[in-house]
């Protein structure tokens, strides 16, 4: 029995495939310490960088700035622990509030909130979270409060 190898040549341009280098953008950061209760709305600065591929997340301001036009997935997680202190964050794209997730902690047990959204961003669009007035985020050294995102595809 004789086996033969055949070669197939495909024209990827005709099939619509692109092999150009795609931009790589992904970040994940956490709070270094508890924050709040806030007296006024404050930007949440996640200074503990876990991943920052592409360098688009600024750990000094807590702001992710889109380096390329595309669709991104952005998410956050918050933690509360103290009785009577509520927890939650607002997610912003530039100055537009997109999400506001909130949790009342009535018994002192840890409570978590997670939210995520897919966004079409233009170059320079800024995405960040804010801690509303009187709310608190509980953190030790276990990354309970995180802010993450990545580029799904360019446009």
DSSP string, 23-75: P--EEEEE-SS-B---SS-EE----EEEEEETS-EETTTTEEE-SSSEEEEEE
Q: Is residue 67 part of a domain?
A: yes
Round to whole Å and give the CA distance between 26 and 19.
Answer: 20
Q: Which domain holds residue 92?
A: 24-154
4 assigned to some structural domain = no
Residue at 17 is within a domain: no
Does some domain include residue 92?
A: yes
Residue 12 has pLDDT above 80, yes or no: no
Element (H, E) at 74: strand 70-80
Residue 132 placed within a domain: yes
Q: Is residue 110 part of a domain?
A: yes
53 domain-assigned: yes
Looking at residue 44, what is its pLDDT?
Answer: 96
What per-residue confidence (pLDDT) applies to 109?
67
What CATH number has the domain bearing residue 28? Answer: 2.60.120.40
Determine if the pTM surpasses 0.75. Answer: yes
pLDDT at 81: 77
Count of structural domains, the chain: 1
Q: What is the mean pLDDT of residues 92-121?
A: 86
* 130 assigned to some structural domain: yes
């Amino acid at each position: 029995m004789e086996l033969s190898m055949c070669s197939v040549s495909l024209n990827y341009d005709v099939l619509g495939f692109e092999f150009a280098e795609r931009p790589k953008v992904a970040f994940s950061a956490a709070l270094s310490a508890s924050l709040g209760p806030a007296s006024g709305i404050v930007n949440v600065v996640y200074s503990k960088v876990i991943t920052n591929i592409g360098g688009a997340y600024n750990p000094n301001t807590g702001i992710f700035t889109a380096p390329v036009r595309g669709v991104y997935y952005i998410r956050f997680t918050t933690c509360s622990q103290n009785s009577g202190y509520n927890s939650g964050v607002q997610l912003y794209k530039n100055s537009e509030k997109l999400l506001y997730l909130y949790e009342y902690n009535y018994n002192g047990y840890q409570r978590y909130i997670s939210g995520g959204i897919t966004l079409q961003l233009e170059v320079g669009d800024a995405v960040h979270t804010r801690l509303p007035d009187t709310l608190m985020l509980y953190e030790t050294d276990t990354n309970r409060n995180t802010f993450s995102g990545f580029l799904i595809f360019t446009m």
